[in-house]
Amino acid sequence: MNFDLDEDQQLTRDMIGRFLGPVDIAARHAMRKAEGGYARTRWQDIADLGLLALAAPEAMGGIGGTMVDLALVAEALGKGVAIDPWLENGVLPIRLAAAAGDDALVADLTIGAKFVAVALAEPGRRYETEAVGTKAEGDQVTGAKTFTLGAPLADTLLVTVAGDKLAKIAMGAAGVVRQDYPVIDGSNAATIDLHRTPVDLFDLPDAKFRRVVGDVRMLAAAEMVGLAQTMFDDTLGYVGERQQFGAAIGSFQALQHRLVECYAALEQARSMMLRTAMLDPTTDDTNWLRIAAGTKAFVGEAATRIGLEAVQMHGGMGQTDELAIGHALKRVMLLDKLFGDQDHCLRSFARAA
């Protein structure tokens, strides 16, 4: 199978690399301390690069990138340990708005005019994505959502509602109660309580919603591949420099064997991710959801293993936020559980097989 990139894909990956530059730990700390843990001006830069429009259909004014295009963007962002919530506050709301037929919101999202948080998870429902307790009565919605990533910065909420509906809500609307909290990768999320909140309600067919879930799982896997690559590269460089007993620790055979195993796991994860991205999800949405779940579980296991090995080989400082691997591993831990941890995704894969 040919995994070579075409010219446009290579240019896109190089452009993202130049935009991100080397991992700047001091700049990350400064931005995380700002209100909401992120800068809206930087989000506009992401939009200006076309990375948001890539996720939107051409019929709605987007670029209409393929799943391979999006996976390469996600991998490049992961490799640069990007602070940008491109997946959870870019691709996810764009895909949901497109699935619900909200052309105006898609247009605003692709140019960075709006920052949207998606509220899917409900208390006590673990990784289930279907809305049960959030219900609509006319043009009002009542319910509770948790783990709403990016909510402190959002001006608009997209909320899944029982009965295959999607609600669009202004963050300052009556009846919206938000409680912010930090999450493991340094970003912020919130619990959202809705009390007869006025909304714009759209139909969200179950098949289209499941397709979006599959897309996000696939792209989470792609970002984890990029994060794993950086953790592996940084560790390989470190063991060549760190001296112990008068020799570089990279010369110790035990560490060499462990690094070889990490390299093999990384290449298997990348191959699995690319093989899945090259499928055509439009031909069979149910099968796409199953395959994406299996891919995410496989890649999540590999990325977590590589991250833990990287931390251990760096010693105590590998646990800190002073090194890129610390930030990368924390992001892997979040993505590994986004829309289902490894066990949940494997059960989804097995049930649908």
Express each pLDDT in 167-177 by its tens digit.
Answer: 999 999 999 99
266 pLDDT exceeds 80?
A: yes
- Rounded CA gap, 59 and 103, in Å? 9
How is 110-145 classified by DSSP, letter by letter?
A: HTTS--EEEE---TT-TT--S-SS-EEETTEEEEEE
Q: Which residues are CB-neighbours of 241 under 8 A, at least 6 positions away?
A: 248
Fold of 207-352: Butyryl-CoA Dehydrogenase, subunit A; domain 3 (1.20.140)
Express each pLDDT in 43-80 by its tens digit.
Answer: 999 999 999 999 999 999 999 999 999 999 999 999 99
203 pLDDT exceeds 90?
A: yes
Query: Which pTM value belongs to this model?
Result: 0.95
Average pLDDT of the chain to the nearest whole number: 93
Pick 116-204's CATH classification: 1.20.58.220, 1.10.3720.10, 2.40.110.10, 3.40.50.2300. 2.40.110.10
Looking at residue 350, its pLDDT comes to 86
Statement: 7-110 belongs to CATH 3.40.50.261 = no
Tell me the mean pLDDT in the region 101-117.
97
Least confident of 143-152, 184-193, 314-323: 314-323
- Residue 124, token pair as written in the block: 């006590």
Q: Which residues are CB-neighbours of 313 under 8 A, at least 6 positions away?
A: 235, 238, 239, 249, 255, 258
Alpha helix (H) ranges present in the chain? 7-20, 25-33, 40-48, 67-79, 86, 92-100, 103-110, 206-241, 253-277, 285-314, 324-335, 342-352
Looking at residue 116, its pLDDT comes to 98
196 pLDDT exceeds 80?
A: yes
Looking at residue 351, its pLDDT comes to 78
Looking at residue 88, its pLDDT comes to 98
pLDDT band at 244 (very low <50, low <70, confident <90, very high): confident
77 with 84: CB under 8 angstroms? Answer: yes
- Rounded CA gap, 174 and 347, in Å? 39
pLDDT band at 283 (very low <50, low <70, confident <90, very high): low
9 pLDDT exceeds 90?
A: no
Q: Do domains 7-110 and 116-204 have the same CATH topology?
A: no
Looking at residue 1, its pLDDT comes to 60
pLDDT band at 12 (very low <50, low <70, confident <90, very high): confident
Looking at residue 138, its pLDDT comes to 92
Q: Domain segments of the chain: what residues?
A: 7-110, 116-204, 207-352
Which is more confident, 2 or 220? Answer: 220
